[in-house]
């Protein structure tokens, strides 16, 4: 008999006023009992609507059934049939707009906590040192993956499972891409990311760090080294600025720089680690997405007294996940909505001392369907801050496309691909993730990596 509770089994979290002073994980995860109880809320619908919402096609009712029976190892194997990074997806996927959105239990009450269960299973497997056994029919064909973020890792893992000899080229010193430099420790612990990457390596994937493709080698040179196909998953690595006066003052960061210093370089442990970050008493983060929330919550943890999210539209239009918004509010982040920066003001020696903003109101809907913010004349005001973090989005990094002349690129920098296969204009070269779509989610990038893996396999087999 199903557990007919209208609500998900509660997941323990760190107290807001404690957690906003440390970098440990906010959500603490289910115990075995909690997981089995939550798993019993699944109705095992025959038509499996939830699976349709999953970009990597996790067989959700099947794995949940195994959890409800206490068969955690089997549940893990079921998930990893299609998902190569479950501990990560269980934490950072926007389940509310994917699998859980389509859950029948969600019609009346809360949907099944699919994300929480996935996380539980992955953590259980990690804790008990279980991995999925790799199949090892070796094919004698080499595939190169550029970038070790979610798109690259998922593409690499799938190809390795098929038996290809896969090498990932990563520009940074550590693998993981945005999972390492972007998403903070308190949402996605880095040792867990590394463990998931270790699992991908166990499949036979080789990862070469410090390889800035486009500089150290071109795609053509990679292919000359015997790689028969290439997947580009280099991400959206180019920060956008606002183009307002004062953006180059000391104390103004792109969210990329701010988060990379903190996450990848571990500036939150300065001076134990050598890389510093500057966080003033008052910090303004400009933007309304998940990256803005991450930056704001990080600033708070680094001791800022007041942290403002400055966003030009209203809360309804915010692209951040509701859960992230909610966590940010709980932790004391102050939301200055319908507010747009016009100028950053500096001291005489060039440090930020304030940000001039103008109030906005919502007008007609724009091309994105969201109501367009319009300036309210004469409403300029100054927020006193010493640090400004600009989190208004990233563009695809042009390092690879600019050195690959036969690669077709959109005006805004995204690589042009076939939507179904990820094939680019260059034969044997595929692309997926943020470098194609612009900044999106981890799971969409993973889905694109998977699709491309399948297409690369078909390409290489038909070329034989």
Q: Which residues bind another protein (CB under 8 A)?
A: 171-173, 181, 209-212, 215-217, 237-239, 241, 247-248, 250-251, 253-254, 256-257, 260-261, 265-266, 270-276, 278, 349-350, 397-399
Query: In whole angstroms, how close is the CB of 187 to another protein at the nearest point?
Result: 20
Rounded least distance, CB 254 to another protein, Å = 4
- Least separation in angstroms between residue 345's CB and another protein is 15
Q: Which is nearer to another protein, 125 or 171 (CB)?
A: 171
Nearest to 161 by CA among 219, 247, 93, 81: 81
Q: Minimum Å distance from CB 181 to another protein?
A: 8
The residue among 64 and 255 lying less far from another protein, judged by its C-beta, is 255
Beta carbon of residue 373, minimum distance to another protein (angstroms, whole number): 24
Contact 401, 413 (CB under 8 A): yes
Q: Where are the beta strands (DSSP E) in 19-78?
A: none
Q: CB nearer to another protein: give 27 or 344.
A: 344
Region of 137 (left: φ > 0; alpha: ψ -120 to 50; beta: rest) is beta
Please say which residue, 107 or 348, places its beta carbon nearer to another protein.
348
Q: Find the shortest distance in angstroms from Cβ 219 to another protein.
A: 14
- The residue count of the chain comes to 464
CB of 212 to another protein, least distance (A): 6
If the CB atoms of residues 141 and 397 are measured against another protein, the closer one turns out to be 397
Coil/strand/helix, residue 173: coil
Quote the CA–CA distance of 251 and 351 in Å, as a whole number.
6
* Residue 179 token pair: 């999972």
Encoded tokens for 58: 């996790």
Nearer to another protein, 134 or 350 (CB): 350
Choice between 190 and 327, CB closer to another protein: 190
Beta partners for 207?
168
Q: Which is nearer to another protein, 10 or 248 (CB)?
A: 248
How big is the CA angle at 248 (ends 247 and 249), to the nearest 5 degrees?
Answer: 95
320 secondary structure, DSSP code: S
- Number of Cβ within 10 Å of residue 132's Cβ equals 18
Degrees (nearest 5) of the Cα angle 241, 264, 115?
90
**Cross-sheet strand order for the sheet of 282-286:** 252-254, 387-390, 282-286, 306-310, 334-336
Which CB, 49 or 438, lies closer to another protein? 438
**Within 10 A of 223 (CB to CB), how many other CB atoms are there?**
19
Residues contacting residue 408 through CB under 8 Å, at least 6 positions apart:
415, 416, 424, 425
Whether residue 78 has a cis bond before it, omega within 30° of 0: no
- Residue 439 CB, shortest distance to another protein, in Å, is 12
Cis ω for the linkage preceding 58 (within 30 of 0): no
Q: Residue 238 or residue 362: which is nearer to another protein going by CB?
A: 238
d(CA 220, CA 397): 18
Scanning the structure block, which residue is given the tokens 């999106």? 440
CB of 171 to another protein, least distance (A): 5
Of 56 and 391, the one with the shorter C-beta distance to another protein is: 391
In angstroms, give the least distance from the CB of 397 to another protein: 6
Q: How far is the CB of 307 from another protein (least distance, A)?
A: 20
Which of 311, 338, 381, 341 is closest to 246 using CA atoms?
A: 341
DSSP string, 66-100: HHHTT-HHHHHHHHHTT-S-HHHHHHHS-GGGTTG
């Amino acid at each position: 008999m199903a557990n007919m509770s209208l609500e998900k089994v509660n997941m323990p979290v760190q107290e807001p006023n404690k957690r906003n002073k440390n970098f440990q994980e906010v959500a603490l995860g289910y115990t075995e009992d909690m997981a089995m109880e939550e798993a019993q809320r699944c109705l095992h619908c025959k038509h499996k609507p939830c699976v349709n919402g999953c970009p990597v096609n996790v067989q959700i009712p099947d794995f949940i059934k195994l959890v409800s029976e206490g068969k955690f190892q089997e549940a893990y194997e079921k998930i990893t049939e299609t998902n190569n990074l479950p501990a990560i997806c269980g934490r950072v996927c926007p389940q509310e707009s994917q699998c859980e959105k389509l859950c029948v239990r969600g019609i009346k009450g809360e949907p099944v906590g699919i994300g929480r269960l996935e996380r539980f299973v992955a953590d259980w497997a990690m804790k008990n040192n279980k991995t999925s056994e790799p199949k090892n029919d070796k094919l004698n064909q080499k595939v190169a993956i550029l970038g070790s973020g979610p798109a690259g890792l998922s593409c690499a893992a799938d190809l390795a499972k098929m038996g290809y000899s896969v090498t990932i080229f990563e520009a940074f010193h550590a693998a993981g891409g945005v999972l390492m430099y972007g998403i903070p420790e308190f949402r996605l612990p880095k040792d867990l990311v590394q463990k998931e990457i270790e699992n991908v390596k166990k499949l036979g994937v080789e990862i070469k760090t410090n390889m800035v493709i486009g500089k150290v080698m071109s795609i053509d040179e990679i292919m000359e080294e015997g790689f028969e196909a290439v997947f580009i998953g280099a991400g959206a690595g180019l920060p956008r600025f606002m183009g307002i006066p004062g953006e180059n003052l000391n104390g103004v960061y792109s969210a990329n720089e701010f988060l990379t210093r903190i996450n990848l370089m571990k500036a939150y442990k300065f001076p134990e680690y050598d890389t510093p970050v500057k966080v003033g008493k008052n910090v303004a983060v400009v933007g309304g997405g998940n990256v803005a929330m991450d930056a704001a919550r990080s600033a708070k943890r680094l001791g800022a007294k007041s942290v403002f999210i400055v966003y030009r539209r209203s809360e309804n239009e915010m692209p951040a996940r509701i859960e992230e918004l909610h966590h940010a509010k709980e932790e004391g982040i102050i939301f200055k909505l319908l507010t747009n920066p016009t100028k950053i003001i500096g001291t005489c020696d060039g440090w930020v001392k304030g940000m001039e903003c103008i109030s906005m109101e919502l007008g007609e809907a724009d091309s994105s369907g969201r109501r367009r913010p319009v300036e309210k004349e004469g409403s300029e005001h100054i927020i006193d801050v010493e640090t400004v973090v600009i989190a208004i989005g990233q563009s695809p990094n042009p390092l690879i496309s600019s050195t690959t002349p036969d690669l077709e690129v959109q005006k805004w920098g995204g690589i042009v691909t076939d939507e179904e296969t990820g094939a680019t204009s260059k034969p044997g070269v595929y692309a997926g993730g943020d470098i194609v779509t612009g900044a999106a989610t981890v799971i969409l990038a993973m889905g694109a990596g998977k699709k491309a893996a399948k297409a690369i396999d078909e390409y290489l087999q038909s070329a034989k």
